[in-house]
A = this chain, B = another copy of it.
Amino acid sequence: MSDVAHLAGVSTATVSRALSGRGATVTPETRERVLRAATDLDYHVNHLPRNLRLRSSRIIGLVISDIENPYFTAVARSCEDVAQRQGYHLVLSNTDEDAGREVASLLTMTAERVAGVILASTGQSNEGVRRLLATGIPVVALDRRIEGVDVDAVTVDNEASAYQAVSHLIGLGHRRIAIIGGPRTASPISERQSGYEAALRDHGIPVDQRLVRQADLREHGGHRETLHVLDLEDPPTAVFSVNNLTTIGVVRALRDCNLHFPAQLSVIGFDDSPVAALLDPPLTVVDQPTRQLGARAAELLLRRVERPDAPVQEVILPARLVVRGSTGPPPDPA
């Protein structure tokens, strides 16, 4: 940088002003000279000292629980689009639903003084979040609320969408509807279960706890729990799967049992994908607004980076039931 200053015949302060041009006042002519000198010397700014001086970087962290889940990658993509447009870069970190990894990630991000963090928390510890906030780094909760801290959040109206999905099944005549759920610690999952229970209750159908299963949020869990409910003496006529990965397991289980949907069993999954529409028949699903989730989260975060003490905001987005071929009336009573 001092080389550039020399060549342009100015001070390093002026080079800085000319190049970063942040509200700085430089003669167009001086700027021109500096720019040319920088080009001639193939000079490119180094962010390390800048970050130190500014006590922050233009990087925002996105911490998700499963990088291989299309739901999160869709969210990540839209986050990145928004961030990039504002001149921020995205650091992606994958926790695998492991609270320890989550904390470790957040501590590193704190140490690196990222500009802010968007977090889909495992919900098992908020130590990492507390340190971020203590260091003055804003946090936006994505997909899941974070217990015990008051931060901006972008979530989906899980209860309403589950209610709608289950009501659809009830409307088709189903009475025995299984739910393949997950750990209650994740708020979206427990909200979907609540929506399921509310829909049954409102239609005068008692909740049969044997039909309420908790799987891991993987294909394996969906497969196992589906086999479990199919094995009951009074099996369900419909299955509501609350997660895209478990849905794959559900479909595989039906395939294994040689059961066809919707003739023998109706299926509703969560999250849409090109492949959901490719199954035969195509899957009825609850489609989450992933694009918007990511974009809104990034917007909320960047807004707060600029105005750290704006009022806390919570955005709840609606999901939408996409009715396709995997749901139909229950089979005639055996």
User: Which 3 A-B pairs rank lowest in CB-CB distance, beginning with the nearest?
Assistant: A92-B92, A47-B111, A48-B52
Proximity bits, A280-313, B CB within 8 Å = 1, else 0: 1000000000000000000000000000000000
Contact of A55 among B48, B251, B255 (CB under 8 A): B48
Asked if A70 and B70 sit within 8 Å, CB to CB, the answer is yes
Judge if A80 is at the interface, Cβ distance under 8 Å.
Answer: yes
Asked if A67 and B59 sit within 8 Å, CB to CB, the answer is no
Known: A73-B67, A73-B68, A80-B94. A47 touches B113 (CB 8 A): yes
Alpha-carbon separation in the docked complex, A258 to B277 (Å): 15
Judge if A200 is at the interface, Cβ distance under 8 Å.
Answer: no
A25-60 interface (Cβ within 8 A of B): 42, 44-49, 51-52, 55, 57, 59
Tell me how many chains of this kind the complex includes: 2
Known: A68-B70, A89-B93. A111 touches B77 (CB 8 A): no
Judge if A131 is at the interface, Cβ distance under 8 Å.
Answer: yes
Asked if A252 and B280 sit within 8 Å, CB to CB, the answer is no
Judge if A204 is at the interface, Cβ distance under 8 Å.
Answer: no
Alpha-carbon separation in the docked complex, A47 to B248 (Å): 42
Alpha-carbon separation in the docked complex, A280 to B59 (Å): 44
Q: In the assembled complex, how far is the CB of residue A136 from the closest CB belonging to chain B, in whole angstroms? A: 12
Most buried by B among A49, A94, A113, A251: A94
* A251 proximity list for chain B (CB < 8 A): 278
* A67 proximity list for chain B (CB < 8 A): 73, 76-77, 80
Whose C-beta in chain B lies nearest to the C-beta of A276? Answer: B275
